Amino acid sequence: MKKNLKIAILGVTGAVGQELLAILEERKFPFAELRMLASGRSAGKSMKFMGKTYQIEEATPDSFKGLDLVLASAGGSISKALAPYAVKAGALVVDNTSAFRMDPEVPLVIPEINPEDIAKNKGIIANPNCSTIIALVPLWPIHRAVRIKRVIAATYQAASGAGAKAMEELKIQAQDFLAGRPVKKEVLPHQIAFNVFSHNSKVGPDGYNEEETKMVKETKKIFHDDAIQITATCVRVPVLRAHSEALNIETERPITPEEARALLAKAPGVKIVDDRERNYFPMPLETTGQDDIFVGRLRVDPTVKNGLAMFVSGDQIRKGAATNAVQIAELAFKI
C-alpha cells in the first residue's frame, strides 16, 4: 500500500472537482502532494483545503510530471487531450468524463460490481455515467442471483448533473418565478424551475438522447453482458442534487419483492427505504450527501413474466461521480 501518493485533481473548480476534495478528506485518502488543476481562467487563484492554501494551476501537458494519480472531471475534450500526457508521465488517470468509457482498452468500473476490471487498466480507468451508477449498484445483486434480461429505466435527474452553474440557475429561476420576474435561461436550454424536460444532451437519429444511450452501452460493458436489453427515458427535474430512477426489470428466473429486498439489504452501497405503511420511499432530499443508493417501491411488475419494479435515488455528485472515482483509486493503490 502506497501512502505517499502524489495526486492531482483536473477540473478542481467544478462541482465534481470540489466534491472530490471533500471525499478525499472524508475518507482520509493518503497523499503527500496535491496539485489543483483547472482552466487558464482559474489559474493563479488560491483555494484552501485541509488547513493549507493551494494555488490553482493551469492544466497543460506538462502538469503531470511526478504524479501517481490524476482524478479528472474537467470535461471530455480536456480529458481526451490531457489524459495521454498524464499516463505518459506515469500517472494513473481515473476519468469522470465520457471520453474513454466505451474504449475497449479502458476499464469502466463500479467497485461494488466489477473491481477486478481495475487490474486490466493501461493507465486510464473510466468512471461510469451517474445515471448508470445509480441504477446498477442496486440492480447488480439481483442480476447475479437471477440474471436480468431487460431493464426499463425512467430517470429524474437533478440540476447537479449539469454542473454547479445549473444548480445556481435553478435557484435564481425559482426566486424570479415566485417574484413574478422574467425567468432567464443561460445554462440549461429550458426553464428548470417548476418544469421538467428531456435530458439536455444531444438527441440521435434513433430518437434517444446521449444520456439514454450511455445507460444502455455502459450497462452492457459493466455487467459483461451484451445480451441484456435496456431502454431508458432520461428527464431533467427541478431538484438541486441527487438523481432518482424508476426501474422495471424482467429476470430469467422468478424473484419475489421479499427475496429482492433480502438480497439488497446485504448488498454494499445500498440502503433499503421501503415503508409502504407510511408511504415512505427514497427521496433526493435524503440521499443528498450520502454514498449509498436508496432503494424502495419494491413490487411485482405484472406486465411481464418475472417482472419486478423499484424506485431508487442517489447523490449524483457523490456516488454518481466523486465517491466512485475515489473508491476506484483506493482499490487501484490498495488503500
Structural domains in the chain plus CATH codes: 5-128+321-332 (3.40.50.720), 132-316 (3.30.360.10)
**How far apart (Å, rounded) are the C-alpha atoms in residues 210 and 95?**
18
Q: Phi-psi region for residue 305, left (φ > 0), alpha (ψ -120 to 50) or beta?
A: beta
pLDDT for 271: 98
Given a cut of 80, is residue 24 above it in pLDDT?
yes
Please pick, among 130, 143, 199, 234, the residue that the annotation labels catalytic.
130
CB half-sphere exposure, 126, CA atoms < 13 A: 25
Q: What pLDDT sits at residue 2?
A: 64
How confident is the model at residue 42, as a pLDDT?
A: 85
130 part of the active site: yes
pLDDT at 9: 97
| CA nearest neighbour of 80 among 98, 57, 92, 62 | 98
Q: Which of 143, 199, 234, 243 is catalytic?
A: 243
Confidence class for position 1, pLDDT limits 50, 70, 90: low
Q: Give me the torsion for CA of 3, 8, 14, 20, rounded to 10°.
A: -10
Per residue in 255-311, pLDDT (tens digit) is 999 999 999 999 999 999 999 999 999 999 999 999 999 999 999 999 999 999 999
DSSP run (H or E) holding 144: helix 130-146
% of the chain at pLDDT higher than 90: 92
Q: What is the pLDDT of residues 82-92, one digit of tens each?
A: 999 999 999 99
- Report the alpha-carbon distance of residue 276 to residue 297 in Å, rounded: 8
Interval 135-139 mean pLDDT: 98
Q: At 43, is the pLDDT very low, low, confident or very high (cuts 50, 70, 90)?
A: confident
Does residue 76 surpass a pLDDT of 90?
no
Question: 79-132 pLDDT, tens per residue?
Answer: 999 999 999 999 999 999 999 999 999 999 999 999 999 999 999 999 999 999
243 is known as an active-site residue: yes
**pLDDT value for 236:** 98
Structure confidence at residue 330 as a pLDDT band (50, 70, 90): very high
| Nearest CA among 240, 319, 329, 284 for reference residue 16 | 319
Average of pLDDT values for 170-197? Answer: 97
Give the integer Cα–Cα distance in Å for 238 and 115: 34
Lowest mean pLDDT among 37-41, 170-174, 200-204, 304-308: 37-41
Average pLDDT, the chain: 95
